[in-house]
Amino acid sequence: MPFDPKHEIADVAVIGAGGAGLLAGIAAARAGAKTVIYERMKTPARKVAISGGGRCNFSNTLNPRKFVQLFGDKNSSHLGHSLRAFSNEDAIKLLAQYGVEGQVERNYRLYTKSGRGTDVVNALVSEFQKGGGVLVPLARILRLEKHGAEFALEGKFGDVDEQRRAKAIVICTGGLSYPVTGSSGDGYDWARSIGHNVTELRAALVGLTIEEKWTKELQGLAWQDASCALYPMPPSGNTPQGKPLCTERAEILFTHFGISGPAILDVSNTFVGAGLRRALLTIDFFPEITRENLDAQILERCKTFPNRTLGRALDGFHAMPARLLEHLERSLGADACVSVCRLPKTGRVKALDMLKRTTVTVSGTRGIEFGEVTSGGVAWEKIDPKTLESQLSPGIFFAGEILDLTGRCGGFNLQAAFSTGYLAGTNAAERSGVARKE
């Protein structure tokens, strides 16, 4: 029979039933600890369920070394112990036990084969409850206090104000992004109250706002394969200088606020991490084709349709959508009305520039409520990466997005949440006095 956290002292209390919280609960329950997860929402792991467009990019196929290398955060080296505790292979095996299969897309990304993120959530909840864990929804913890060797958790459980107790705490309250999924930032205040530093919190994996108005005219237009490079704002002018801060290649999407899509979400992490307020972004719509080869292909189209304008001559060219061709024509100015047999070389150069090196000005990001994850969090300086326990308040552990750890797209953030949650839950169980199971 599951224990009753209302009347009994929990060995481990996990706050937050997201990806990290569920794995912390699973690990603690597997270790034999009386484990409870308190979740402020009605249902657990809503952010996991809607990730990847609802299909849940739950992990990837990279080995631990490559995972850390590509993660995209200065603190990724702290993930070594967590990944050894619970790897991508462990995630795949756990989900497979509940009939949840993954399929590899775009080189190494693992999505649910069913296309339902809820399948992942249901599997994790089932595994937690199989181990005897208790999930308590609609429970908002308002205050944590240490009483001797125990912790008092004061909060609202349903409509009732109560106090619950536990021997060890795992804080998995997430960040500030997507507040509709339950992220509130409460955990940051608890961390500060015991002396932890919380680094600047900003939206990450988020769309970029663009100063140029023409991007909004293409709202809703997606381009499947673009190479996007981010440059610091030069002292004068709008010509990129030096080496880019990052280059990302994937789908892009023009929106009412600017530009988004997987490539842009990854670029946004560099923009945010560098503390930039403005920057230049170049877009190569044909990264597979060199500028010289693209010029040759355009010349061939011009020979085939000498009496058409360039926009009409390129109709059907590499499946370019009509709206992108219309933008190309607008960028040509007066040359847009000239038949290609009379088009000056400068006009063709303009077209090549637009297709191979469109440059826009990044003015910022969308608000943190639109970010897929939060950049910044509880600093690592007073957290033991081997256990994820606070060095300032033994018995308190941190896992998941609340940590200062922000990964790129591709299953990195969810796997990091799973892995840190599992490591924290395992050590929280041991801290509570439960003997480690071999």
The mean pLDDT of the chain is: 95
Handedness of CA 374, 375, 379, 384 (dihedral sign): positive
The Cα–Cα gap between 72 and 398 comes to 20
* Residue 213 CB contacts under 8 Å (≥ 6 apart), including other chains: none
The Cα–Cα gap between 74 and 381 comes to 13
- Choose among 272, 293, 2: nearest CA to 130: 2
Question: Residues 106-119: what's their mean pLDDT?
Answer: 96
CB 170, CB 14: distance < 8 Å:
yes
What tens digit of pLDDT does each residue of 63-90 get?
999 999 999 999 999 999 999 999 999 9
What tens digit of pLDDT does each residue of 121-161 get?
999 999 999 999 999 999 999 999 999 889 999 999 999 99
What tens digit of pLDDT does each residue of 188-219 get?
999 999 999 999 999 999 999 999 999 999 99
Read off the DSSP letter of residue 33. Answer: -
Residue bearing tokens 């929106």: 255
Domains in the chain, please, with CATH? 10-202+374-431 (3.50.50.60), 207-366 (no CATH)
CA separation, residue 341 to residues 199, 300, 322, 338 (Å): 59, 12, 22, 8
* Residue 69 CB contacts under 8 Å (≥ 6 apart), including other chains: 76
pLDDT in the model for residue 1? 66
Buried b / exposed e over 14-41, threshold 16 CB at 10 Å, is bbbbbbbbbbbbbbbbbbbbbbbbbbbb
The Cα–Cα gap between 385 and 83 comes to 11
| From 50-54, 92-96, 409-413, the region with the lowest mean pLDDT | 50-54
The Cα–Cα gap between 107 and 116 comes to 20
Question: Residues 79-103: what's their mean pLDDT?
Answer: 98
Residue 428 confidence (pLDDT) above 70: yes
What pTM, to 2 d.p., does this model score? 0.93
pLDDT in the model for residue 74? 94
Of residues 148 and 103, the one with the higher pLDDT is 103
What stretch of H or E contains 297?
A: helix 291-304
- Choose among 405, 418, 387: nearest CA to 175: 405
Strand pairing class (35-38; 134-136) = parallel
Q: What are phi and psi of 239, to 5 degrees?
A: -105, 120
Residue bearing tokens 């993930």: 79
What tens digit of pLDDT does each residue of 206-261 get?
999 999 999 999 999 999 999 999 999 998 888 999 999 999 999 999 999 999 99
Residue 180 confidence (pLDDT) above 90: no
What tens digit of pLDDT does each residue of 266-324 get?
999 999 989 999 999 999 999 999 999 999 999 999 999 999 999 999 999 999 999 99
The Cα–Cα gap between 245 and 404 comes to 21
Residue bearing tokens 């403005």: 278
Residue 435 confidence (pLDDT) above 90: no
pLDDT in the model for residue 250? 94
Residue 184 confidence (pLDDT) above 90: no
Dihedral of the alpha carbons of 216, 217, 221, 226, in degrees to the nearest 10: -70
Map residue 90 onto helix, strand or coil: helix
Q: Which two tokens stand for residue 360?
A: 């826009």
* Confidence grade of residue 437 (pLDDT, cut at 50, 70, 90): low
Residue 335 confidence (pLDDT) above 80: yes
- Choose among 112, 108, 111, 155: nearest CA to 136: 155
Q: 268: number of CA atoms within 13 Å, CB side?
A: 34
CA separation, residue 360 to residues 211, 314, 355 (Å): 7, 23, 13
Of residues 428 and 437, the one with the higher pLDDT is 428
pLDDT in the model for residue 189? 94
- Choose among 136, 124, 130, 116: nearest CA to 49: 116
pLDDT in the model for residue 367? 85
pLDDT in the model for residue 436? 61
Amino acid identity, position 98:
Y
